Amino acid sequence: MRVVVVGGGAAGITAARTARELGAEVTLITEDDRVAYSPCAIPFVLSGEIEDADSIVMRDPEYYERLGINLRLETRVEEVDPEEGIVETEDETFEFDAAVLAVGGEPLIPPIEGSDLDGVLTVRWFSDIERLERAVQSAERAVVVGAGPIGVEMAHALRSRGLEVTLVEMLDRVLPQLLDGDTAAELQEVMEKEGVRVLLGDPVERIEGDESVEAVVVGGEEIEADLVVMAAGVRPRTELFEAMGASVTPFGVEVDPALRVKSEDGGVMEGVYAAGDCVADWCPITGETVPSQLGTVAVRQGRIAGRNAVEGPKITWPGTLNTAVVCAFGLEAAGCGLTEARAEEVGMEVVSATVSTTTRARYYPGGEEITVKLIADAYTHRIVGAQAVGGERVRERVDAIALAIRLGAKVEDLLSWDYSYSPPVARVVEPFYEAAERLREELKG
């Protein structure tokens, strides 16, 4: 069984390792000069929280060689022929019985005048770290474009390195995919207290400068800047898929539940799997195609694709609730499923409850503020989303609700929740339980 994996990110290496563990002969081809660093760690390297940048590279190439994986670094795949079972690079041809294409994504650079100036940087590649680090050392004023997870975490990193920071988001709130206005306001308040200027509701008009960036124009205002961080999202890399005749959407290549690549004619390409940021995912609540560019999804899809590549299409991917957590400014901000805003866009009538409390018993020192929000379909009573922002113990709370959504939980089910309690780690009433109690009164039908 010969498996060729294209892409050395989290999805690719996980697929390669899984296929190898199941006994396949595995070749892993990547354009990068190292295997699987963690892109989500870059803001924390810049902030100084992670001291050694090299530590974010998961393993040495030798590790993969010891596993018996045939590794090709700095190698570009020119063509994949699914019919013939061939992957072509400039110098070599690899035959495969199954392939896993995990080619990832790249930073989305909005078509803005001046986005090619010196000092306009992205946060994606390992080599970005050195560029960003150099810029941070000389820059005084930064503009971060986009208030998604990377944008917020970079705003924190740059602020903690002493720069003047403006965060620009064209939608009306920070973390607009993850949070609604009320929970986003909790984060924004702390960001502003920490000295970040947050500009919402206007896109960047242009970036000004001679060779290097000098200013960013937003809503008619010229904001001086000697560093611009582009954090406007990730574009899935779909060129290889297009050339293969696969069905490609703006969110990535389409796959069936076994992660087999779909072809333009509606069929599937037997033996050809895709995983990670290049895949168009789907929301299990609405069935809609959604982007999913999370490390967790990459790893979980990599395991499935690697196994299915060896054993045939057996294990299926269940879509994604895009559960994510952002760590910045001493807060965790997390969300899953549909925001209230998104639910309304898809025509769902929802009810929501937002509860603000603290994370420890009133009388136990050190408690932090936490705000949680629970969103449910008003008529079916199904929980469709959860959000939380707070100083501690945030992530796992949202994860619990994400699991409950998977299990089809209704608001009423949360009232049977046997959560635990001890004064140093909780109040006697769990905030998401409290939210469910409040929601119960508002349910319809």
- Cβ proximity to a second copy: between 196 and 394 the closer is 394
Distance of closest approach, residue 436 Cβ to a second copy, in angstroms: 11
Residue 287 lies near a second copy (rule: CB under 8 A)? no
Strands 2-6 and 98-101: parallel
Nearest Cα to Cα of residue 222 among 214, 212, 230, 232? 214
List the catalytic residues.
40
Residue 63 lies near a second copy (rule: CB under 8 A)? no
- Cβ proximity to a second copy: between 263 and 380 the closer is 380
Residue 383 lies near a second copy (rule: CB under 8 A)? no
DSSP state, residue 341: H
- Which residues are within 8 A (CB) of 127 and not within 5 positions of it... i.e. 6 or more apart? none
Distance of closest approach, residue 198 Cβ to a second copy, in angstroms: 20
Give the containing element (helix H, strand E) for 299: helix 295-311
Residue 100 lies near a second copy (rule: CB under 8 A)? no
- 390 to 409, contacts with a second copy by CB under 8 A? 393, 395-400, 402-404, 406-409
Query: What is the identity of the amino acid at 344?
Result: E
- Cβ proximity to a second copy: between 73 and 299 the closer is 299
Contacts 24+ apart (CB under 8 A), 41-44: 42/123, 42/124, 42/128, 42/129, 42/132, 43/123, 43/150, 43/153, 43/154, 43/156, 43/157, 43/328, 44/153, 44/157, 44/327
- 351 to 370, contacts with a second copy by CB under 8 A? 361-365
Build a one-symbol-per-residue string for 172-211: x at contacts with a second copy by CB under 8 A, - elsewhere: ----------------------------------------
Exposure string for 214-234, b = 16+ CB within 10 A, e = fewer = bbbbbeeeebebbbbbbbbbb
- Cβ proximity to a second copy: between 261 and 290 the closer is 290
Quote the tokens at residue 178: 């993850």
Tell how far CA 123 is from the center of its chain.
13
Distance of closest approach, residue 307 Cβ to a second copy, in angstroms: 11
Q: Using DSSP, state whether 154 is helix, strand or coil.
A: helix
Residue 327 lies near a second copy (rule: CB under 8 A)? yes
Residue 76 lies near a second copy (rule: CB under 8 A)? no
State which of residues 34, 44, 67, 171 lies at the interface with a second copy (CB under 8 A). 44
Nearest Cα to Cα of residue 445 among 377, 385, 383, 374? 377
d(CA 157, CA 228): 13
Residue 10 lies near a second copy (rule: CB under 8 A)? yes
Residues that bind a second copy (CB under 8 A): 10, 38, 40-41, 44, 49-52, 55-56, 149, 294-296, 299, 303, 318, 320-327, 332, 334, 336, 361-365, 393, 395-400, 402-404, 406-409, 413-414, 416-426, 428-430, 437
